Structure 1
């Protein structure tokens, strides 16, 4: 069973930023590694479901012409919208994934600290949505906490195993930190070939 919605209502009911995303060095470091791992300097359109209070959202906005961020908790959406109010390229929506998903296509989808809340059925549905919504050559980012948590269905390495098995994706890079697992994957081209790496795109190899 997926983590019940009441868990998130309780967390945000006791604190505007229950995981201290804006203050913890752990989060700042993880975000820096995530951003440095992106294979493109710039993206046309990004999607970040589970954006919480928008700390990573604001940083992703610097790399995207347009960014849609979403969360299922109204107070989190309000805080994320306030945090990014001065950024005209950011839109924050109240969405519950995977049931609700933008109809747009994206060249960047970021699934950060989200997939471990889902049971097998919801995990498959979310990944199916992500693959369908990702353009050929587009980037899928997954990054998740490694340590067991009672409210989490799975750990970061378990999420990574499920994502790596998707045939439409190819793994560009992976960070196996003590505390989190980060994967950068790319949607295969229509002919099934792997997209060019950053070095290949610049003619270095």
Structure 2
């Protein structure tokens, strides 16, 4: 069974930012590494499910023409919307994935501190929907806390192998930090072969 929605309601009832995402150096460092790992300088359309209070959203907005950030907790959505107020290319909405999912396609999907809340079946459905929405050549990012937590079904490293085995995802970056696991993938078609690295894209290889 996935982590019950009531867990998140309780967390946000006690604090507007229950994990201190805006205050901790750990989080700021992790977000900086996450954004630095993006293989393209800019994206047309990005999707960030589980955006919480929008700290990473604000950083991603600098690299995107359009960004949709969603969370299931309305108070978190309000905080995130206030954080990116004035950024007209960013939309923040209430949405519970994977049961709810936006239409359209994206060339960037960021799954930050999200997948470990789902059981195997639900996580599989979420990844299926992500691949359906991710354009060929698009980027999928997964970054997760890598220590056991009672409410988490997997650690970041325990998620790494299942993610790397998803058909249609080609691994590009794998960062094994002492506290989190950061993976970056490119959406591929088996007939297209291995995608080019950022260096190869610029003719350095």
Which TM class, normalised by the smaller chain length? Answer: over 0.9
State how far apart, in whole Å, the 1-side matches of 2:48 and 2:188 are. Answer: 20
CA distance in 2, matches of 1:8, 1:64: 28
Shift of 1:189: 3.8
**Partner residue, 1:99:** 99
**Hey, what does 2:136 align to over in structure 1?**
136
Q: Deviations over 1:101-156 (max 9, x none)?
A: 11110000000000000001110001101111100100000000000000111110
Superposition deviation, residue 159 in structure 1: 1.2
- CA–CA distance in structure 2, aligned partners of residues 49 and 5 of structure 1: 15
**What TM-score comes out, normalization by structure 1 length?**
0.98
Give the conservation status (yes or no) of the 8 Å contact 2:145–2:180: yes
Name the Cα RMSD after superposition.
0.8
- Cα drift, residue 190 of structure 1: 6.8
Match of 1:37 in 2: 37
Alpha-carbon contact 1:168-1:192 (below 8 Å) kept = no
Q: CA deviation at 1:162?
A: 1.1
Q: How many residues align structurally?
A: 205
Q: For 1:22-171, list aligned pairs within 5 A.
A: 22-171=22-171
Superposition deviation, residue 160 in structure 1 = 1.2
Alignment TM-score, normalising by the size of structure 2: 0.98
Q: Once the two structures are superposed, what CA deviation does each residue of 1:53-86 show, in whole Å capped at 9, x if it has no partner?
A: 0000000000000000000000000111111111
Q: 1:186 & 1:159 partners in 2: Cα distance?
A: 17
Paired residues of 2:168 and 2:190 also in contact (CA < 8 A)? no
Runs of 4+, deviation exceeding 6 Å: none
CA contact (8 A) 1:53 1:80 kept: yes
Measured after TM superposition, the shift of residue 183 of structure 1 is 0.1
- Give ranges in structure 2 of 5+ residues lacking alignment: none
For residues 67 and 194 of structure 1, the distance between their equivalents in structure 2, rounded to whole angstroms, comes to 27
Q: Take 1:161 and 1:28, find their aligned partners in 2: how far apart are those partners?
A: 26
